[in-house]
Structure 1
Amino acid sequence: MAADSASSDEARVKRDFWPTVKRVARSIPFAEDAVAAYYCAFDRETPTHVRATLIGALAYFVLPLDALPDFVPLMGFADDASVLAATLALVRTHLNDRHRDAARRTLADKEFG
Protein backbone atom coordinates (compact mmCIF):
# COMPACT_ATOMS: atom_id res chain seq x y z
CA MET A 1 0.00 0.00 0.00
CA ALA A 2 2.78 2.48 0.91
CA ALA A 3 4.65 1.68 -2.31
CA ASP A 4 1.48 2.41 -4.32
CA SER A 5 1.09 5.75 -2.57
CA ALA A 6 4.74 6.67 -3.17
CA SER A 7 4.45 5.67 -6.81
CA SER A 8 1.27 7.73 -7.14
CA ASP A 9 2.95 10.74 -5.51
CA GLU A 10 5.93 10.44 -7.84
CA ALA A 11 3.66 10.31 -10.89
CA ARG A 12 1.67 13.32 -9.64
CA VAL A 13 4.84 15.33 -9.06
CA LYS A 14 6.26 14.46 -12.49
CA ARG A 15 2.95 15.41 -14.14
CA ASP A 16 1.95 18.51 -12.16
CA PHE A 17 5.12 20.11 -10.80
CA TRP A 18 6.24 22.18 -13.80
CA PRO A 19 2.78 23.51 -14.72
CA THR A 20 2.24 24.50 -11.07
CA VAL A 21 5.62 26.19 -10.73
CA LYS A 22 5.22 28.03 -14.03
CA ARG A 23 1.82 29.32 -12.89
CA VAL A 24 2.95 30.56 -9.47
CA ALA A 25 6.74 31.06 -9.61
CA ARG A 26 6.55 34.84 -9.70
CA SER A 27 4.20 35.00 -6.72
CA ILE A 28 5.84 32.62 -4.24
CA PRO A 29 9.08 33.42 -2.45
CA PHE A 30 10.09 29.76 -2.17
CA ALA A 31 10.07 28.94 -5.91
CA GLU A 32 13.83 28.38 -6.01
CA ASP A 33 13.64 25.98 -3.05
CA ALA A 34 10.79 24.07 -4.68
CA VAL A 35 12.65 23.70 -7.98
CA ALA A 36 15.90 22.73 -6.22
CA ALA A 37 13.94 20.15 -4.20
CA TYR A 38 12.53 18.76 -7.47
CA TYR A 39 16.01 18.38 -8.95
CA CYS A 40 17.25 16.72 -5.76
CA ALA A 41 14.24 14.37 -5.63
CA PHE A 42 14.89 13.10 -9.14
CA ASP A 43 18.68 12.97 -8.86
CA ARG A 44 19.76 9.32 -9.01
CA GLU A 45 22.55 10.08 -6.53
CA THR A 46 20.04 11.18 -3.87
CA PRO A 47 19.35 8.39 -1.35
CA THR A 48 15.96 6.71 -1.72
CA HIS A 49 14.64 7.81 1.67
CA VAL A 50 15.52 11.45 0.88
CA ARG A 51 13.90 11.19 -2.55
CA ALA A 52 10.72 9.79 -0.98
CA THR A 53 10.61 12.59 1.59
CA LEU A 54 11.06 15.28 -1.06
CA ILE A 55 8.51 13.71 -3.40
CA GLY A 56 5.98 13.68 -0.54
CA ALA A 57 6.53 17.40 0.10
CA LEU A 58 6.39 18.22 -3.61
CA ALA A 59 3.21 16.17 -4.00
CA TYR A 60 1.63 18.30 -1.27
CA PHE A 61 2.75 21.41 -3.17
CA VAL A 62 1.04 20.33 -6.40
CA LEU A 63 -2.19 19.11 -4.77
CA PRO A 64 -4.95 21.48 -5.84
CA LEU A 65 -6.68 21.40 -2.45
CA ASP A 66 -4.82 21.19 0.83
CA ALA A 67 -5.02 22.70 4.32
CA LEU A 68 -5.05 26.24 2.88
CA PRO A 69 -6.23 26.21 -0.74
CA ASP A 70 -3.69 27.89 -2.99
CA PHE A 71 -6.22 30.38 -4.35
CA VAL A 72 -6.64 32.06 -0.92
CA PRO A 73 -4.90 35.45 -1.29
CA LEU A 74 -1.60 35.83 0.61
CA MET A 75 -2.15 32.69 2.69
CA GLY A 76 -2.75 30.00 0.08
CA PHE A 77 0.85 28.88 -0.18
CA ALA A 78 1.77 29.31 3.50
CA ASP A 79 1.15 25.65 4.28
CA ASP A 80 3.05 24.56 1.16
CA ALA A 81 6.00 26.75 2.17
CA SER A 82 5.93 25.32 5.69
CA VAL A 83 5.91 21.71 4.50
CA LEU A 84 8.72 22.39 2.04
CA ALA A 85 10.80 24.32 4.60
CA ALA A 86 10.48 21.53 7.17
CA THR A 87 11.39 18.92 4.56
CA LEU A 88 14.41 20.88 3.34
CA ALA A 89 15.61 21.26 6.93
CA LEU A 90 15.51 17.46 7.25
CA VAL A 91 17.37 16.76 4.02
CA ARG A 92 19.55 19.87 3.68
CA THR A 93 22.79 17.90 3.41
CA HIS A 94 21.50 16.23 0.24
CA LEU A 95 20.36 19.41 -1.50
CA ASN A 96 23.61 20.57 -3.09
CA ASP A 97 24.94 23.43 -5.19
CA ARG A 98 24.21 21.50 -8.39
CA HIS A 99 20.48 21.36 -7.50
CA ARG A 100 20.37 25.04 -6.46
CA ASP A 101 22.28 26.17 -9.57
CA ALA A 102 19.91 24.21 -11.81
CA ALA A 103 16.94 25.80 -10.04
CA ARG A 104 18.33 29.32 -10.51
CA ARG A 105 19.04 28.65 -14.20
CA THR A 106 15.55 27.25 -14.73
CA LEU A 107 13.81 30.18 -13.04
CA ALA A 108 15.99 32.72 -14.91
CA ASP A 109 15.24 31.14 -18.30
CA LYS A 110 13.11 33.51 -20.41
CA GLU A 111 11.13 30.58 -21.78
CA PHE A 112 10.24 29.37 -18.30
CA GLY A 113 8.11 32.29 -17.19
Structure 2
Amino acid sequence: KPDGAWDIKSPTLNDLADEFAVDSLTIPQLKRLLVDHNVAQSGLREKTEFVEEVKRLWRTHRHLSSSASCDRTCCVCLNAVPDCALDPCGHVAMCYKCAVELTDCPLCRRHVQRVLRIYFAV
Protein backbone atom coordinates (compact mmCIF):
# COMPACT_ATOMS: atom_id res chain seq x y z
CA LYS A 1 0.00 0.00 0.00
CA PRO A 2 1.76 3.19 -1.12
CA ASP A 3 1.49 5.89 1.55
CA GLY A 4 -1.64 4.25 2.97
CA ALA A 5 -3.64 5.49 -0.03
CA TRP A 6 -5.68 2.30 -0.18
CA ASP A 7 -6.85 2.69 3.44
CA ILE A 8 -9.05 5.66 2.56
CA LYS A 9 -12.72 4.97 1.86
CA SER A 10 -13.07 6.24 -1.67
CA PRO A 11 -16.57 6.95 -2.89
CA THR A 12 -17.67 5.97 -6.37
CA LEU A 13 -19.24 8.42 -8.80
CA ASN A 14 -22.61 6.85 -7.95
CA ASP A 15 -22.07 7.72 -4.28
CA LEU A 16 -21.90 11.44 -5.06
CA ALA A 17 -25.36 13.02 -4.88
CA ASP A 18 -24.36 15.97 -7.04
CA GLU A 19 -21.24 17.60 -8.39
CA PHE A 20 -21.00 19.84 -5.31
CA ALA A 21 -20.34 16.72 -3.19
CA VAL A 22 -16.97 16.53 -4.96
CA ASP A 23 -15.86 19.67 -3.06
CA SER A 24 -15.81 17.77 0.25
CA LEU A 25 -13.54 14.95 -0.97
CA THR A 26 -9.91 14.74 0.08
CA ILE A 27 -7.09 14.83 -2.46
CA PRO A 28 -6.43 11.06 -2.05
CA GLN A 29 -10.14 10.36 -2.68
CA LEU A 30 -10.11 12.61 -5.76
CA LYS A 31 -6.98 10.88 -7.06
CA ARG A 32 -8.52 7.45 -6.47
CA LEU A 33 -11.61 8.37 -8.51
CA LEU A 34 -9.43 9.58 -11.36
CA VAL A 35 -7.29 6.42 -11.25
CA ASP A 36 -10.39 4.21 -11.14
CA HIS A 37 -11.66 5.85 -14.34
CA ASN A 38 -8.31 5.94 -16.16
CA VAL A 39 -8.14 9.73 -16.15
CA ALA A 40 -4.64 11.18 -16.47
CA GLN A 41 -3.51 13.29 -13.52
CA SER A 42 -0.38 14.77 -15.04
CA GLY A 43 -0.42 18.52 -14.74
CA LEU A 44 -2.86 18.52 -11.82
CA ARG A 45 -1.26 20.14 -8.78
CA GLU A 46 -3.81 22.08 -6.73
CA LYS A 47 -6.87 20.59 -5.03
CA THR A 48 -9.09 22.86 -7.14
CA GLU A 49 -7.67 21.26 -10.30
CA PHE A 50 -8.42 17.76 -8.99
CA VAL A 51 -11.92 18.88 -7.97
CA GLU A 52 -12.66 20.33 -11.42
CA GLU A 53 -11.41 17.17 -13.15
CA VAL A 54 -13.57 14.91 -10.95
CA LYS A 55 -16.58 17.21 -11.49
CA ARG A 56 -16.07 16.89 -15.25
CA LEU A 57 -15.89 13.11 -14.83
CA TRP A 58 -19.05 13.15 -12.64
CA ARG A 59 -20.98 15.19 -15.24
CA THR A 60 -19.95 12.76 -17.99
CA HIS A 61 -20.94 9.81 -15.81
CA ARG A 62 -24.31 11.39 -14.97
CA HIS A 63 -24.97 12.15 -18.64
CA LEU A 64 -24.15 8.57 -19.60
CA SER A 65 -26.24 7.12 -16.80
CA SER A 66 -29.31 9.09 -17.84
CA SER A 67 -29.06 8.91 -21.61
CA ALA A 68 -26.85 5.99 -22.63
CA SER A 69 -28.51 3.34 -24.68
CA CYS A 70 -26.82 0.10 -25.68
CA ASP A 71 -28.89 -0.26 -28.86
CA ARG A 72 -27.14 2.66 -30.57
CA THR A 73 -24.28 2.25 -32.99
CA CYS A 74 -21.07 4.16 -33.58
CA CYS A 75 -21.71 7.21 -35.78
CA VAL A 76 -18.40 6.63 -37.60
CA CYS A 77 -18.24 2.91 -38.43
CA LEU A 78 -22.00 2.26 -37.98
CA ASN A 79 -21.13 -1.14 -36.55
CA ALA A 80 -19.90 -1.08 -32.95
CA VAL A 81 -21.62 0.18 -29.79
CA PRO A 82 -20.47 3.61 -28.53
CA ASP A 83 -18.16 2.94 -25.58
CA CYS A 84 -16.31 6.18 -24.95
CA ALA A 85 -16.83 9.87 -24.22
CA LEU A 86 -14.94 12.71 -25.83
CA ASP A 87 -13.39 15.40 -23.67
CA PRO A 88 -14.25 18.25 -23.42
CA CYS A 89 -17.60 18.02 -25.27
CA GLY A 90 -18.77 14.81 -23.54
CA HIS A 91 -20.38 13.30 -26.63
CA VAL A 92 -20.87 9.53 -26.54
CA ALA A 93 -21.55 8.53 -30.11
CA MET A 94 -18.70 6.32 -31.28
CA CYS A 95 -16.67 3.28 -30.42
CA TYR A 96 -13.22 3.65 -28.88
CA LYS A 97 -11.48 2.32 -32.00
CA CYS A 98 -12.98 5.09 -34.15
CA ALA A 99 -12.70 7.81 -31.49
CA VAL A 100 -8.94 7.49 -31.03
CA GLU A 101 -8.49 8.15 -34.75
CA LEU A 102 -10.32 11.50 -34.58
CA THR A 103 -8.97 14.96 -33.84
CA ASP A 104 -12.40 16.65 -33.78
CA CYS A 105 -15.81 15.48 -32.54
CA PRO A 106 -17.97 14.52 -35.53
CA LEU A 107 -21.07 15.90 -33.78
CA CYS A 108 -19.98 19.35 -32.60
CA ARG A 109 -16.56 19.75 -34.29
CA ARG A 110 -14.80 20.61 -31.01
CA HIS A 111 -11.18 19.53 -30.76
CA VAL A 112 -10.83 16.24 -28.88
CA GLN A 113 -8.35 16.52 -26.01
CA ARG A 114 -8.77 12.92 -24.89
CA VAL A 115 -11.01 9.89 -25.20
CA LEU A 116 -12.49 8.40 -22.02
CA ARG A 117 -13.31 4.69 -22.16
CA ILE A 118 -16.73 3.83 -20.71
CA TYR A 119 -17.57 0.48 -19.16
CA PHE A 120 -21.27 -0.32 -18.90
CA ALA A 121 -22.58 -2.68 -16.22
CA VAL A 122 -24.63 -5.51 -17.66
Is the structural similarity TM-score above 0.5?
Answer: no
Structure number with greater CO (CA < 8 Å, separation at least 6) is: 1
Greater C-alpha Rg: 2
Higher helix proportion = 1
Higher strand proportion = 2
TM-score scaled to structure 1, two decimals?
A: 0.32
TM-score scaled to structure 2, two decimals?
A: 0.30
